[in-house]
Amino acid sequence: MKKKLVVLTGAGISAESGIKTFRDSDGLWEGHNVMDVATPEGWHKNPALVLDFYNQRRKQLKEVQPNLGHQILAELENEFEVYIITQNVDDLHERAGSTNVLHLHGELLKVRSTKNVNYILDWTEDLNFGDLDSNQNQLRPHIVWFGEDVPALEEAIRITEIADYFAVIGTSLQVYPAAGLIDFTNPETPLFYIDPKPIKIPNLRNPLEVIPEVASEGMKILKKKLIDLI
């Protein structure tokens, strides 16, 4: 029986592929204030800007490739039952070969109805005004914006609870509720934390090993450590 490896990934793992982090230190995302392009208020205020912003992100995604960090995670499915919970909206985990990926914050290559959260379509091209659902409602990016519920959270908690090993890769652990998932691990579950600028995790019960590296280098180290534990 393979051990269960649960991995929480953030912007740091995609940054090495050339995707800008969701929120840079200056509070901007690709030159835009996140409040203008990643909130329901921004959508209502200027939907044309929001549509254009995500259309540009969709184009950018076609120009980048998974990096070694993504690839090693996919390879670990040979030794472990791997569950990836990602804060990222790109599809780089899937393109690297990972087969069990849960997107907490939505997916760039999907859209949904503005009136029915369960009406979701695959979408690889531009999304424009006049692109409607079956009830003639405008479609919007399938992204969980600031201030919106995180529909996948309950499933993420269930996955976290069964982890034999839990790894955090390339996330600042500042965005909730994703950052709170660690609290749902078994206290005996070993925790691995890969980040070039790791923060101190308050009130942590688990045995912790910090790997202060970028995702690709950190994943080389983590793979060896995990296989040594088998």
Catalytic residue positions?
105
Nearest to 229 by CA among 89, 79, 115, 68: 79
Nearest to 23 by CA among 10, 9, 41, 7: 10
Residue 193 in 3-state DSSP?
strand
Strands 32-33 and 28-29: what pairing?
antiparallel
* Owner of token pair 């993504």: 70
CA-to-CA dists, residue 173 to 45, 86, 133, angstroms = 30, 12, 35
CB count within 10 Å of CB 212 equals 12
Q: Are 67 and 216 in contact (CB under 8 A)?
A: yes
